[in-house]
Chain A
Amino acid sequence: MNRCLWCDEAIVNQFDWLTFFTGGEHQLLCEACLSQLETIRQPVCKKCFKMSNSKRCTDCKRWERFFSGDDPLEKNVSSFRYNEFLQEMIAKWKYRGDYVLGSVFEREIKRAFKFHYHALLKEAVIVPIPLSKSRMDERGFNQSEAIAEMATDDRKKIVQLFERIDDEKQAKKTRAERIFAKNPFKLLKTTNKTVILVDDIYTTGTTLRHAARLLKASGCPAVYAYTLVRG
């Protein structure tokens, strides 16, 4: 029997002729849990995918000013809105280390990459945001890597260009602290290909821009991003 990955209730498959002919999709969440995941809907900020009525949200305008019009990040694509349910699910996934929960997002990640980055991916490489060594030891896996692996079937497209130097939890810092903190990444290799950075959550966009800045400074032509959640 198929059980919901979140609440472990049995999933009653609604059998109809369509699923009969297509073989149906293996459902991972029950209807009740699935309905609590909110996907991002239009209109969104064209740059960062925050749900917003203007083409550039205030966050992005602030970044433009911060970099004097030369934001190292071209664009971010996200799939889900941050709500309490997703917050709990992501916490269980990455902090508790319930790896299998990540598969809930697989279909949406694949769709988003195909829809937004299909053309780009012919040339570009996917770079997951790394965890620090101690976090990695603690959790045993990196959620950004897991997202990257779900995004493409071609493992050669995924490269690790960074190493994390600081150990402090970004989550515990305030916005100001996060922005002024020194760059937490060290570039291990340079690349002359376009890069799609992958992370789980876009909150202020600082983490991605730290990484993007290092890449741009070392000759990378353009940096895009995919984050599962736009906070």
Chain B
Amino acid sequence: MVQRIKKWFHRPTRLESHPTERARRRNLLPSSSSYFHRLTEEEERKLAKRFEGKLLLRREIPLSDPQFNDLLRHQLFTPHPSFIKTIFQTRCKRCNNDKPSLLASFPCAKCCRTHLYCRNCIMMGRVSECEVLYEWNGIRYQWPTLLNACTWKGVLTPAQEKAANLVKKAIADKSEMLVWAVAGAGKTEILFPGIELALSRGARICIATPRSDVVRELYPRIGQAFKNVEVEALYGKKKNKDGTAQIIIATTHQLLRFNEAFDVMIIDEIDAFPYHKDRSLAFATNRAAKKASAKIYLTATPRGDLKQKIRRKQLPHCFIPIRYHGHPLPEPKLVADFSLSKRLTNKQLPKSFIRWLDQRERKTRQLLIFVPTIQLAEQLKVETAAVLLLKKLIKDESEVAFAHAEDELREEKVRQFRQRNIYCLLTTTILERGVTFPSVDVVVLQANHDVFDEAALVQISGRAGRAKDDPDGEVIFIHDGKTEALVDAVHAIKKMNLRAKTFYTKESER
């Protein structure tokens, strides 16, 4: 990055403003190092853009040793111990984990002694006791103020616009708010005016979501809407994880590397697993945002704690019960089938499903089938292909695929499905949210299984009828015994549709 050796021009940085510090530096610096790098302001700005607002391990800082040591000596990086120890507990500085079961030790060959490492954030590269986390301490980077940055030329529906205005206000006030919008309400577009406003004030923006599929889906859309702004996606499998753009779209895990970086923090799918389960992810999103920052939460299915906050008026919110195309959410049809378990154990499709296949309204719609386990998805693939071939819905076995959480090819399969090269996709709850396909029928096999809670079922139903020219789509829950979640999910959808109707009447009365 910074390679050329130049004369050291003395420029005051934040730390240097103290007179003794300035004197110390002047005396100490020029003579003490053999490799000596004199930074220009431009170079320091570049470094600031790359490293500011982060907390990084040495190996995450792609600078040569002499270069890095030089910066360290000039206190442009501040080292922090990677573990915070008190008498009672030890805590990982990066992810805030203090669970004893997620802290362990290993014999480090480099140091020839045994020491601590964090198991909780190990997927981001191991933090061990012999390592240090570095924070940039040079000049602050000035993000450009961009006027009229939004290049999206669409029009918001009245419902979207109402929400967009509230988002704008929260961003202007640097406050918190929740956007509760049904699946298909057009949540992303609601953000555009707010993001535009933030950019016009030189703000840095983060859109965080628990799932990498959602990051991959959002990235091109945000890029399209803000063509002249740097947008970067960060997720586990992506090679380049520099994180230097003004708009960052990241999985919550990736935020563990950030530290007071963002003026606007938008958290999509705030209710989604594993966000509501893993405390360190909530910690990461909090720390990644600046102390004074706007926080916008998006959800289609708020969980109990959020609902409570809304009820107690602790969290300003806006509710969008209607989809952008104005059509109601498809209401799921419950189909009881008491031979279901037996058929599934025999790796067969339930009879009720096959019967439904013959009665579908539109056979051109693709099929998205949710099953409770990966194994089942895999086992049913052959049978599904056989049945669909027999019914002449597909021409080749390859038009049926299954995708699951650990699937290396998931990204590719989802893409193929979206391009309609795959007619039927068997999947687990991993595709329950975020990803949209224009025209699908949705089936849940064994909808009474534990993995399908109310939120999951509502989200799954939201996969159907996303397109303007095919706003309906069928949603079939096949079960062998109603659960509370099933009943609640159907109830919740009906209620939202009802609210949508009254919303319309109210709007037209105005």
Contacts and interface: CB of A to CB of B under 8 A. Distances in A.
A141 B108 contact: yes
A190 to B, nearest CB: 25
A140 B117 CA distance: 11
A114 interface: no
A88 B406 contact: yes
A187 interface: no
B406 A140 contact: no
Contacts of B126: 96-98, 140
A137 interface: yes
Contact of A141 (B109, B122, B406): B109
Interface residues of A, number: 16
A97 B101 contact: no
Contacts of A84: 406
Interface string B116-127: 010100110110
Contact of A140 (B104, B106, B119): B106
Chain B interface helix/strand/loop/mixed: mixed
Contacts of A98: 104, 117, 119, 122, 126
A136 B108 CA distance: 9
Interface string A109-152: 00000000000000000000000000011001110000000000
A92 B406 contact: no
B504 to A, nearest CB: 46
Contacts of B107: 99, 140-141
A96 B106 contact: no
B101 A8 contact: yes
Interface string B78-105: 0000000000000000000001011011
A188 interface: no
B102 A140 contact: no
Given A96-B126, A98-B119, A100-B119, A142 B102 contact: no
B311 interface: no
Interface string A7-46: 0100000000000000000000000000000000000000
A3 interface: yes
Given A92-B122, A97-B126, A140 B101 contact: no
Interface in B245-292: none
Nearest to B123: A96
Given A84-B406, A92-B122, A140-B128, A100 B109 contact: no
A102 B122 CA distance: 15
Contacts of B122: 92, 96-98
Nearest to B103: A100
Interface in B104-156: 104-110, 117, 119, 122-123, 125-126, 128
A88 B122 CA distance: 13
B106 A141 contact: yes
Nearest to A100: B104
Given A84-B406, A140-B128, A100 B106 contact: yes
Contacts of B109: 136-137, 140-142
Nearest to B100: A3
Given A8-B101, A84-B406, A140-B128, A97 B123 contact: no
A140 B108 contact: yes
Contacts of A100: 104-106, 119
A15 B99 CA distance: 25
A90 to B, nearest CB: 14
Interface of A: 3, 5, 8, 84, 88, 92, 96-100, 136-137, 140-142
23 contacts: A8-B99, A8-B101, A8-B102, A92-B122, A96-B123, A96-B125, A97-B117, A97-B122, A98-B104, A98-B119, A98-B122, A99-B104, A99-B105, A100-B104, A100-B106, A100-B119, A137-B109, A140-B106, A140-B108, A140-B110, A141-B106, A141-B107, A142-B109
Given A99-B117, A140-B107, 16 more contacts: A8-B99, A88-B406, A92-B122, A96-B122, A96-B126, A97-B106, A97-B126, A100-B105, A100-B106, A100-B119, A140-B106, A140-B108, A140-B109, A140-B128, A141-B107, A142-B109
